[in-house]
Structure 1
Amino acid sequence: MSGAAGGVRVMLHLRPAPGEDAAVAEAYHRISKDLDGTPGLLGNELLRVITDEGAYAVLSEWESMAAFRDWEAGSAHRGTTSPLRPYQDTERPSPFSLFEVVATY
């Protein structure tokens, strides 16, 4: 990921039950296929948290907050992302974090 300042990163925090790693990867790939071509979405990655066994995150890159908000407000948002919903980390205050890119190098 290598977007410019002003871009947005969205991190979805996941914590599947033991043995559900393959289901998380499968859900991620299904959602990614469905989101291919979404206006403003520059890419996403499924990450395993090295310092927290069993934790995962999906990091998506958006060209702007407006592009992310437009997609989030759309009718397809909830249905498209529902395969990962059972794996969201409910121990966190929010299952996702939003980051604005302030500077890049």
Structure 2
Amino acid sequence: MSEGAFRVMLRMQINPGMEQGFEKTWLGIGDVITGHPANIGQWLMKSAEEEGIYYIVSDWVDEPLFRQFETSDEHLEHRKKLHPYRSGGSMTTMTVVAHLTGRAVEVAAG
């Protein structure tokens, strides 16, 4: 991940009992995001502390290209498929200032 990338973090509250369906749907439609030429990658994380809370992080080449995607028909369709699972959420955006590679990555690389 290079410095200067634009990062988006979503916090999603999932309706009780719908977590597995949400995860399956997210995985099934994830290529809408990762297939975009400006997308660097995305991650789905489940809170270890709060029941029904998920975080989605996606990295983009830059903010203008993310904003262009954010208003696209593809993204609006993507959101419609996830919306039934949600009871709330928020979005935070940021620019990556620096990235330090951890020792475990260096050891694994050999």
Q: TM-score, normalised by structure 1?
A: 0.82
Aligned length: 100
Q: What is the percentage of aligned positions where both structures have the same residue?
A: 27
- Give the structure 2 partner of residue 103 of structure 1: 98
Gaps of 5+ in 2: 101-110
Corresponding residue number in structure 1 for 2:70: 72
Larger Rg: 2
Provide, for residues 9-28 of structure 1, a one-character-per-residue CA deviation record: whole Å limited to 9, x for no partner.
Answer: 11121111221111110121
Selected match of 2:25 from 24, 27, 33? 27
Question: SS at the partner of 1:76?
Answer: helix
Query: Runs of 4 or more off by more than 6 Å in structure 1?
Result: none
Could you give the per-residue CA deviations for residues 7-48 of structure 1, whole angstroms, max 9, x where no partner exists? 011112111122111111012112203334201111111100
Residue equivalent to 1:84: 82
Q: CA RMSD in A?
A: 1.7
Query: In proportion to residue count, which structure has more strand?
Result: 2
CA distance in 2, matches of 1:13, 1:89: 11
Instruction: Determine which structure has the larger helix proportion and give its number.
Output: 2
Normalising by structure 2, report the TM-score.
0.78
